[in-house]
Amino acid sequence: MAITQANGAVRESRPRRRHAEGPAAVLAIGTANPSGTIVPQDEFADQFFRMSNCDHLADLKGKLNRICKKTGIEKRHFHLTEEVLLAHPEFLDRELPSLDARIDMVATAVPKLAESAALKAIAEWGCPATDITHLVFSTYSGCRAPSADLELARLLNLRPTVSRTILSLHGCYGGGRALQLAKELAENNCGARVLVACAEITLVCFAGPDGSNLVGHALFGDGAGPFTGGEHPLFEMVSATQTTIPRTEHALGMQVAGGGIDFHLAIQVPSLIGQNVEQCLLGAFRASLGDDANDLTWNDMFWAVHPGGRPILDNIESVLKLGPKKLTSSQNVLHEYGNMSGATIVFVLDDLRRRREEEGEFPEWGALLAFVPGITVETMVLRSPPRSVKEN
Ligand SMILES: CC(C)(COP(=O)(O)OP(=O)(O)OC[C@H]1O[C@@H](n2cnc3c(N)ncnc32)[C@H](O)[C@@H]1OP(=O)(O)O)[C@@H](O)C(=O)NCCC(=O)NCCSC(=O)CC(=O)O
């Protein structure tokens, strides 16, 4: 932004931005997973303990097996392969410095994964990549500058003036946060076309088993999911809010250390989310729809819930008294891919729009929910636009 001095006053030299009419919309969605390894969940504990040379820790292995059975996950994709681990035994030991080697690997792998997904979204959108005006990239692997956003812009040949933002360490709500930012950018810059890229590779968090990291190992997987705003809206993003649950800042967190990124997931996370989610939703819907919100019940809506873990989905289903199929997209994504942190919500929206195409009947209003260290609940009110003549 150029600032010029005129008549002693500070004045912007650029033309005033025009606001877009109506809410921003998701126009196209693409997803991708790394080609490295696909691990069936029922084989994960055996494979992980063998690769970590920890088969002698039978109690821990037994516990990981018990946890894996309860995750609701069928398989997960990983960039990390056994060959890479053999070449980098330091990845197994949190006490050994390994952050540099991890960052070197993800600096290439994360934008590449995002590129695979972005190419699908751009193809669906049907416009040249050079029409993209803004890029918002969310990843917990963005530990250097320039970062994955610049590399993705280069890989996609985006215009040199593309306006880039990187969100780092936002964890599971990276997707929701990036979408909210894209919404603000699109609504405040008429004609903006925002590429939102979320890409997560667990390589930066990987470690050998210990008593405190089993749940993370059982839960997280790798994936990427860009969206663009499109000419035929898939979902309108009507409003977005964040609510932090008081005194829960120690329940969920990530910490970058010399031996990689540590996750902390307190056992109370699913119940804390269950106890607070309805209040967050009521606030978001009343603020967005006013009295019209009173005519809606939770079962009248479609749901895009970040599948942070099976009990989180179970608690939300039970607290909101949702019908049996309301969380199918979230359950399905958890089952097929595990928790891919910020990228997961893109997979959920992709699954939802596929169901909408197959089923025909679809609610007008929906809610997107994601959870973040804090604990903060990210809520977005979504609207499924009426189907156009072209789509019908
Ligand atoms: C681990 C689970 C699959 C276990 O399922 P259940 O809770 O139904 O089963 P259960 O109660 O019998 O527990 C099985 C065993 O796991 C242990 N256990 C459960 N939760 C634990 C936790 N958070 N930390 C350590 N251990 C835990 C129990 O003590 C028990 O041990 P034993 O067998 O020895 O008695 C589930 O609780 C789960 O998915 N939790 C993760 C939820 C979560 O925090 N997700 C992240 C959301 S935010 C996010 O997505 C992160 C981000 O920001 O990226």
Comparison of pLDDT for 292 and 305, the residue scoring more: 305
Name the pTM for this structure. Answer: 0.92
In this prediction, residue 11 carries a pLDDT of 37
Nearest residue by C-alpha to atom 46 in ligand 1: 308
Active site residues: 172
| pLDDT exceeds 90 at position 280 | yes
Cα→Cα distances 160→14, 125, 132, 355, Å: 18, 21, 11, 37
Closest CA to 307 of 45, 40, 72: 72
Ligand 1 site-directed mutation target among 61, 76, 139, 265, most atoms within 8 Å of CB = 265
pLDDT value of residue 250: 92
Q: How high is the pLDDT of residue 229?
A: 53
Q: What local confidence, expressed as pLDDT, does residue 211 receive?
A: 78
> In the chain, what are the domains?
25-228 (3.40.47.10), 235-383 (3.40.47.10)
Mean pLDDT is lowest, of 64-78, 117-131, 305-319, 375-389, for 375-389
DSSP letters along 141-156, please? T--SSS-HHHHHHHHT
Tell me the pLDDT tens digit for each residue of 227-253: 665 456 899 999 999 999 999 999 988
**Residue 66 pLDDT:** 96
The residue whose C-alpha atom lies closest to atom 34 belonging to ligand 1 is: 63
Compute the average pLDDT of residues 66-91: 96
Q: Which residue ranges have their beta carbon within 6 Å of ligand 1?
A: 63, 66-67, 70-71, 171-172, 215, 219, 252, 265-267, 269-270, 308-312, 339, 341, 371-373
191: left (phi over 0), alpha (psi -120 to 50) or beta: left
CA of 5 to the centre of ligand 1 (A): 59
Residue carrying structure tokens 């190419």 = 119
Higher pLDDT among residues 235 and 173, named by residue: 235
Q: Mean pLDDT across the stretch 358-365?
A: 90
Ligand 1 atom showing the smallest separation from residue 140 Cα: 54
